[in-house]
């Protein structure tokens, strides 16, 4: 039996485009005499559809799309993911389902059992878990079809009480097939290999694993679909961050006549989650994830041009380089906005960067605007000393100018804040925290430097001085980030232990960090939740990003 996988980039709610894409993949598989083609989880409507699932019209459009797709399931079987209605009165109204289409009919339907409700996932909010577990009969083969999380309940600390495959094995299947929408983070490619390997070794069956690719607002799907033989060897590995339609012929004895790509003994056996922040870990993958995150956000929203404030600092430099790669340099407008406290070299560095990238840029001096604010506010401020109010006024002036230009010309403002700043509240609401998309909001400062070095791996795109100089907001004379924050080499490690590893103050202190510094850092994180709650969507690249995947109260008294 020849089975193909379609690793594709879908658009949530764009049923027409998704259906067209699915049918095109079916035609490719038919041309190569495939018996079956497998698509990813909820491919018909796009994942995650979230509260769109509450609209009956949305569900009707999904069913209409399946009716259209099944007309192409004549000589070939098609496995697609879509929401399915629950006919029982009790429970949620929908299942997360996989439909087997063949002979222009729906031949079988499988429902997801394990519904993740953690981090970025909310499936228990919308779906009912499966009531029954049955293999699918197709062309003389018995298919054990599962959906994403259904194969992840292995290991020392299972999250759920059952494993669907344990039940399906009682029906003696020949093949495992999994439809997934498994998001990217910089550890997850290895996790994915490990969990598929664990399933194959446990059940001694070949596995066809189809994952989605592309970005949906903040969540990036990296693809990385696999075909494993029954011994746990990888016989086909799909590209990361690219659409691909391909497959293999499965012999009657469950083997493949193809060279092994990765042997079972070279694959990971456990989840990869570093004990400490490793800034360069899979930095090439992080780079690609950020590129596709920007590209898909713009294309799926029908935007073409971006704008950002270019300060001559490392964050705006990396954001600008990423945006130029994703959108084309001619579509990224950089605005340099020096204040009375900006250094000449910062302006020169920012200008040199744009010249290296060949993107348009302009210089707007904010001195007069800033001083007009001071003049108008003097009767209220009286003679109080210079403070954060005057500093933030400069940042908000820049934000106002950027948004004015964005509104006038139809640009989207890219935010340049990094995760270290967002964690500690080192940013100005409605100023440098303004934007439509947070490009670096899930990258600590150390990771931003690693990205800069990666961008410069072949030639100097980001001027060396931007990378080597001490970071500064330049909102007062001789200001440095280190005036307000601990050194990033220490700060980022503490933040990582608290945010990603979810360790409390006692455990973090036991790792050797200064106790007072730990207390101060964790307090900064928690007291600034109100700022992050007003922030734009952040492209997720880590196992724990700010946004929908991290939900803590704003009004609380914990470590404050």
> Annotation-wise, does 225 bind a ligand?
no
Question: Going by C-beta distance under 8 Å and a sequence separation of 6 or more, which residues neighbour residue 503?
Answer: 497
Q: What is the DSSP letter of 550?
A: B
Q: What does the DSSP assignment read for 475-543?
A: SSTT--GGGTS--HHHHHHHHHHHHTS---HHHHHHTT--HHHHHHHHHHHHHTHHHHTTSPPB---SS
* Torsion angle in degrees (nearest 10) through CA of 7, 11, 14, 17: -40
Q: Which of 21, 41, 141, 325 is catalytic?
A: 41
> Annotation-wise, does 118 bind a ligand?
yes
Q: Which of 45, 70, 141, 148 is catalytic?
A: 148
Q: Is residue 445 annotated as a catalytic residue, yes or no?
A: no
> Annotation-wise, does 549 bind a ligand?
no
Question: Going by C-beta distance under 8 Å and a sequence separation of 6 or more, which residues neighbour residue 385?
Answer: none
CB 405 within 8 A of CB 333: yes
> Annotation-wise, does 315 bind a ligand?
yes
Q: Which of 21, 43, 45, 112 is catalytic?
A: 112
> Annotation-wise, does 313 bind a ligand?
yes
> Annotation-wise, does 311 bind a ligand?
yes
Q: Which long-range contacts (CB under 8 A, 24 or more apart) does 449-458 make?
A: 449/279, 449/314, 450/279, 450/280, 450/283, 451/283, 451/286, 451/287, 451/290, 451/318, 451/322, 452/314, 452/317, 452/318, 452/321, 454/283, 454/284, 454/287, 455/287, 455/318, 455/321, 455/322
> Annotation-wise, does 140 bind a ligand?
no
CB 225 within 8 A of CB 210: yes
Radius of gyration of the chain (CA): 26
Q: Is residue 41 annotated as a catalytic residue, yes or no?
A: yes
> Annotation-wise, does 436 bind a ligand?
no
> Annotation-wise, does 531 bind a ligand?
yes
> Annotation-wise, does 153 bind a ligand?
no
Q: 35's torsion region: left (phi>0), alpha (psi -120 to 50) or beta?
A: alpha
> Annotation-wise, does 392 bind a ligand?
yes
Q: Is residue 24 annotated as a catalytic residue, yes or no?
A: no
> Annotation-wise, does 209 bind a ligand?
no
Catalytic residue IDs = 41, 112, 148
Residue ranges of the annotated binding site for L-glutamine are 118, 182
Residue ranges of the annotated binding site for deamido-NAD(+) are 392, 421, 531
Residue ranges of the annotated binding site are 118, 182, 309-316, 392, 416, 421, 531
């Amino acid at each position: 039996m020849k089975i193909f996988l379609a690793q594709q980039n879908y658009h949530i709610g764009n049923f027409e485009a998704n259906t067209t894409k699915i049918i095109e993949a079916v035609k490719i598989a038919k041309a190569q005499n495939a018996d079956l083609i497998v698509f990813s989880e909820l491919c018909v409507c796009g994942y995650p559809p979230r509260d769109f699932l509450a609209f009956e019209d949305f569900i009707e459009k999904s069913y209409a799309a399946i009716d259209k797709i099944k007309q192409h399931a004549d000589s070939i079987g098609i496995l697609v993911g879509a929401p399915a209605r629950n006919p029982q009165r009790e429970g949620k109204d929908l299942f997360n389902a996989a439909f087997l289409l063949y002979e222009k009919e729906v031949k079988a339907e499988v429902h997801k059992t394990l519904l993740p409700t953690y981090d970025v996932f909310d499936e228990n909010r919308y779906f009912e878990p499966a009531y029954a577990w049955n293999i699918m009969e197709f062309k003389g083969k018995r298919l054990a079809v599962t959906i994403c999380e259904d194969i992840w309940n292995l290991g020392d600390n299972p999250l759920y009480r059952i494993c669907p495959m344990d039940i399906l094995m009682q029906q003696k299947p020949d093949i495992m097939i999994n439809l997934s929408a498994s998001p990217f983070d910089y550890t997850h490619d290895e996790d994915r290999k490990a969990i598929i390997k664990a399933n194959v070794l446990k059940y001694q069956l070949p596995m066809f694993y189809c994952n989605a690719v592309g970005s949906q607002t903040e969540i990036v799907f990296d693809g990385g679909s696999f075909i494993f033989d029954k011994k746990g060897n990888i016989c086909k590995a799909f590209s990361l961050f690219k659409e691909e339609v391909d497959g293999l012929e499965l012999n009657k004895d469950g083997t493949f006549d193809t060279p092994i790509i990765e042997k079972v003994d070279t694959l990971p056996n456990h989840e990869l989650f570093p004990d400490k922040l490793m800034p360069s870990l899979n930095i090439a993958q992080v780079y690609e994830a950020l590129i596709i995150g920007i590209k898909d956000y713009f294309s799926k929203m029908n935007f073409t041009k971006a704008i950002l404030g270019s300060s001559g600092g490392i964050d705006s430099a990396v954001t600008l380089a990423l945006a130029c790669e994703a959108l084309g340099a001619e579509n990224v407008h950089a605005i340099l906005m020096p204040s009375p406290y900006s250094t000449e070299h910062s302006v020169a560095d920012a200008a040199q960067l744009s010249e290296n990238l060949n993107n348009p840029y302009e210089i707007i001096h904010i001195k007069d605007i800033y001083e007009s604010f001071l003049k108008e506010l003097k009767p209220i401020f009286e003679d109080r000393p210079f403070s954060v109010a005057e500093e933030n006024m400069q940042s908000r002036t820049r934000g106002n100018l950027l948004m004015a230009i964005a509104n006038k010309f139809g640009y989207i403002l890219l935010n340049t804040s990094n995760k270290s700043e967002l964690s500690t509240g080192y940013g100005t609401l409605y100023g440098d925290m303004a934007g439509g998309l947070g490009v670096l909001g899930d990258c600590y400062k150390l990771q931003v430097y690693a990205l800069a070095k990666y961008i410069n791996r072949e030639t100097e795109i980001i001027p060396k001085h931007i990378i080597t100089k001490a970071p500064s907001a330049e909102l007062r004379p001789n200001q440095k980030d280190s005036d307000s924050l601990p050194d990033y080499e220490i700060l980022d490690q503490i933040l990582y232990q608290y945010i990603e590893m979810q360790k409390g103050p006692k455990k973090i202190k036991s790792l050797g960090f200064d106790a007072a510094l730990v207390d101060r850092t964790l307090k900064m994180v928690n007291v600034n939740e109100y700022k992050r709650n007003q922030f734009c969507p952040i492209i997720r690249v880590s196992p724990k990003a700010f946004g929908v995947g991290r939900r803590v109260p704003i009004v609380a008294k914990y470590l404050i």
